[in-house]
Chain A
Amino acid sequence: MRNYKEKIIQILLTSLAFASLFFLIGIVFILVKESIPIISEINFLEFLFGKEWYPSRQPPQLGIFPLITASLLVTAGALSICIPLGVGAALYINELAGIKQKKILKPLIEILAGIPSIVYGFFGMLIAAPFIQKIFNIPTGLCALTASVMLGIMAIPTVTSISEDALSSVPKSFKEASYALGANRIQTLFKVIIPAAASGISTSIILGASRIVGETMTVLMVSGGAAVVAKSFFVPVRPMTSTIAAEMGEAAVGSPHYHALFAIGLILFLITLIFNAGAEHISKKYRIKLGLGR
């Protein structure tokens, strides 16, 4: 009887596991299948490096270079905000905050990670954008800078939380060894703790970047939406994700525009896949390096 029950549970769990695998493969399959026709429509290099994105023209102009540069620009901007702030917060929580502060701060930061992106978008639109417009005296606050700021803030919890995990998994014995040799706190932090946690900190940055690249809603709301190659942070841009979100509804199924949007999705998928694989690889190496098992 018991054996029978166990069998059923086993079959159930196995089929659930395979179902999710099946869905994943299905998604990737459709993504690839719907992207491929774009290659027959236009030259692949023209697709990647074309500077004109006018999908509704006749014939449509489907160069995604402005979209890629917008994504890169916004990501770079956001990283330059979330790396110092996120890693800095992790260092503070790990090294300077007392036990009591740490007990409050760490969960608080993790809760921040759960704020829906529409909230960031809303905040960006109503508060950050007008503010940025005013200080820099630019025609519109909905621009690459505002998107960078909002995405940067949004990625801080990811970076902080994972960096702090990395810092606190540095064996206490390393710290003791350093202090016992007459090192002070700063020397111990920069020469022992940070190097030992470096791979974990890099992982946190990559995962943060992966979140930034894939983020859609906030970007859609605050980046301004202009599909031209951006020459500065102060102009409206249209990153890859928001392009898909904004245009998928209006693209005729099977049209070149439709396939182009799928191809953009595929590129995004590959970018985040590379980021995540990189993060996984680094953190594995790190565990081995610190002798924390495989």
Chain B
Amino acid sequence: MSAENIIRIQAENVNFYYGRHKALKNINLDFYNNKVTSFIGPSGCGKSTFIRLLNKMNDLVADTKTEGNIWLDGENILHDKADAVKIRRKVGMVFQKPNPFAKTIFQNVSYGLEINGEKNKKIISDKVEESLKKAALWNEVKDRLADNALKLSGGQQQRLCIARCLAVEPEVILFDEPCASLDPISTNKIEELILELKKQYTIVIVTHNMQQAARVSDWTAFMYLGELIEFASTDKIFTVPKEKKTEEYLSGKFG
């Protein structure tokens, strides 16, 4: 059997509330290993809220409630006792706005290793180099690793954030509109990178851009007002959507 059918993450009957506002309504969804799954849908439909459940980032938001199960390697990560630190090391995240630390380029990447207790300088610097190479940034920064990361361009900063994430060796990577603030050339670089990374990682990407979803993803989930309206292979959803709402969204009738 090909890797096609290996389910990596399984969401069951997931509901999520910000205070009284129900932001996710009974979401059921499977993520496949070494595939790219994209989330599309109009702003405010709950895409970020959903993927932030996958690495427990919503735990940081006060006054929220979660129901349902999300299974990752046999563990229900929504369970109160699930170890957030361990899960976040397994499920990395790249944010909408590039958010490198106000530290050097090197320190940005080494940070994750250091908090994991890695002290060996050689191991750290090898890992930093390897991660920067994987993020297709090494050639641009190899002579200026001691520069403040905030001096980099937006696109470079975002690739640095990807490198920083790769350094802790996650198995799943979440991208929340990673190109939203980038120019077309930088966007193109990130897309190529995602296609490269999928060989090794399971990838989830939120995007505002339907073409981007079509270009990079194997599976596409369309959300609307907190509901998962349709989930299918990207080919199918873009050519023969089953739901009327999906078709309207894809043809630009709203959004």
Contact = CB atoms under 8 A, between A and B. Distances in A.
Contacts of B114: 191
A291 B100 CA distance: 11
Contacts of B102: 174, 195-196, 289-291
A69 B123 CA distance: 51
B220 to A, nearest CB: 24
A176 to B, nearest CB: 7
Nearest to B164: A181
Interface string A172-189: 011111111111100100
A99 B62 contact: yes
Contacts of B148: 289
Given A182-B115, A195-B103, A176 B161 contact: no
Interface in B74-96: 84-86, 88-89, 92-93, 95
Contacts of A76: none
Contact of B85 (A98, A184, A195): A184
Nearest to B111: A181
Contacts of A187: 115
B99 interface: yes
B53 to A, nearest CB: 13
A183 B115 contact: yes
Contacts of A289: 102, 148, 150
A180 B101 contact: no
A171 interface: yes
B68 interface: no
A171 B168 CA distance: 23
Contacts of B168: 181-182
Q: Is the interface of A mostly helix, strand, loop or mixed?
A: helix
B150 A179 contact: no
Interface residues of B, number: 29
A174 B101 contact: yes
A133 to B, nearest CB: 48
Contacts of B97: 173
Contacts of B161: 177
A171 B99 contact: yes
A192 interface: yes
A180 B111 contact: no
Interface string B101-131: 1110000000110111000000000000000
Contacts of B115: 178, 181-184, 187, 191
Interface in B200-252: none
A173 B99 contact: yes
B57 interface: yes
Contacts of B95: 173, 176-177, 180
Contacts of B62: 98-99
Contact of A192 (B84, B85, B101, B164): B101
A180 B88 contact: yes
Interface string B23-56: 0000000000000000000000000000000010
B60 interface: yes
Between A99, A174, A178, A181, the greatest number of chain B beta carbons within 10 A of the residue's beta carbon is seen for: A181
Interface string B159-203: 001001100100000000000000000000000000000000000
A181 B165 contact: yes
A178 B93 contact: no
16 contacts: A171-B99, A174-B99, A177-B95, A178-B111, A179-B84, A180-B88, A180-B93, A181-B115, A181-B168, A182-B115, A183-B111, A183-B112, A191-B114, A192-B111, A196-B101, A290-B102
Interface of A: 98-99, 171, 173-184, 187, 191-192, 195-196, 289-291
Give 9 nearest A-B pairs by CB, closest first: A173-B99, A182-B89, A181-B112, A180-B93, A182-B88, A183-B115, A177-B99, A187-B115, A182-B85
Given A176-B57, A196-B102, 15 more contacts: A176-B95, A177-B164, A178-B101, A179-B60, A180-B92, A181-B111, A181-B115, A182-B86, A182-B88, A182-B89, A182-B115, A191-B115, A192-B101, A291-B102, A291-B150
